[in-house]
Each structure stands twice: as C-alpha cells, then as structure tokens.
Structure 1
C-alpha cells in the first residue's frame, strides 16, 4: 500500500498534468483519481478483485470503487498549549517510531521522566533510523503523534513539563 506522502505526490503530479483521470494499481489495491473542473481531486480506492483463472491471456480489469473520498489539503488546527511546556520537535521529515522494534516497549510513555540525553523516539528517513533525544529534563505530558505516522520537519512530537 502506498504511504500518505506518496499519494500526496501523485495527487500533485496529476493536478499539474493535462490528465483528467489517473489509475494506479499495486498488489491488492487500486487508486483512481479524477480531476474536477473546480480543481479538487477526487480519490477512490478499492481492493482489486482477481479474475477467475482462465487459459487466455490476462485482460485489463475494471474495478468499481466502493466509495469515493474527496481529498483536500488542510492544515491542522492550531492547538492551544500551555506555554510552560517544552515541545520536542522532529528534526527532519520521516516516519515516527515510538519503539526501537515492533516487539519492544515504547521509549517513553505519558508520565515518563526524561533527561536531556534520553532517547524518546526514532524518526526514519531514507532507510536511516535517527534516534531523537529529549534535550530537556522533565516529564512527558503528551505524545502528539502515532507510531508509524509521517512527520514533517519541526512538527511537535512530544510535550514535556520541564523540571
């Protein structure tokens, strides 16, 4: 399955092109994008239904999407945050991981005490796993992103109550 960032890039490319419709099929998923004349891109995704086995050469298949989803670029609404809290931000664009491995315990939880050199998460970028340090002594008050979520440069990851 495509990642959110890859889908966004496809949307941008289709929007900037002269194409009116774009279909991308990979494994068991199909993504279909159509341009509306108003400039909004509609995206629909559905599982691909395998045709019954036949001796003839495979034919292109058309799959009707179960539902259509309208995709619009939106900015997250600003969250009012206690100014006394320190934000640990992402130093790069990448994928946020809360644990060193899928079987391991998370680096930190809400209520965990951290020091300035405590590792709080990993941000994976271009197959490199970068350990992110707290850079402050305190207690984790809130975890702002989910495991496996794409994060942007400067995006807040944690809120820490400094000691």
Structure 2
C-alpha cells in the first residue's frame, strides 16, 4: 500500500478526548448566568428618510433659471463714441506687402514597425537563390510656413522588399 493509506488508517483510529469535568462545569455556569435579555439578530426598523419635495425643488430651479435668463448682466462696457472727422482719401496707390506663402521642409520620420524574412526564393530569371526580406514602415513628411507658423504633415505606409543574393560556395 502507499503511505497515505497507512496515514488514513491511523487517523480512523483516533477519537476525540473527553472534556474535563472543570470545562463542563464552567460551560454550565456560563449558560445559567447568561442574561435573559440578549439582543438577537432580528429585523431592525429602517431609519426614516427625509422626504424630498420634488414640486418645490422644480419650481425653485425654474424660477432661478428664468431670473438668470431675464436679468442677464452685460459685463462689456459700451464703446465711447468719438466725433467723426472729415478725412480726404489718399491718392497714393496701395502697395501690397504680402509675402508669398512658402512651405519649407521641416522634418522626415520613418518608423519601421514590422520586418520579416521570407527565406530563400528562386526567381525565374536567376540561377542562384536569393533571400527576400520585407519591412513595413510609416513615413511622415512635415513642412512648415515660417511666416505664419502653419505646418503640413503627410504620413503614408510603405513596404520595402529587399532581395539579397546568396552564394552557394
């Protein structure tokens, strides 16, 4: 047999020890001296909730909203009216000083997010095998207008396939 069957047999033979006389007298004395009015687990009354008067609350909110709409305070000061002065139109031609908007290259970013090795490939027009490597990336080109600070960013995915010749030796 295994070691657990021996252990189980020993455990079956064990019996609990009898309580001492001192323990039984102390338990009897504690039960007889227990107070009669001990609180038990019963149904406790629910605490009374304060009722909410929804009608009064709704009327109060409606009155506050109406007051805010009707008594809207304007914090803007009225503009002071200046007296009008007769002005003669100038005869000088207007010269436009606007600079042409030009975009200047600002940066290029290329993030390669996946590369894979397709292993050896035998192209139709070649006598030797080549190893095909693929890389997928995202290129981002950015231009900036120095005059206005405006920028233009173009991002597009790319896939590059590289064929590396393998020498057989």
TM-score (normalizing by structure 2): 0.15
Query: Which one scores higher on RCO, CA 8 angstroms, separation ≥ 6?
Result: 1
Kindly name which structure, 1 or 2, has the bigger radius of gyration based on alpha carbons. 2
Q: Which structure: greater strand fraction? A: 1
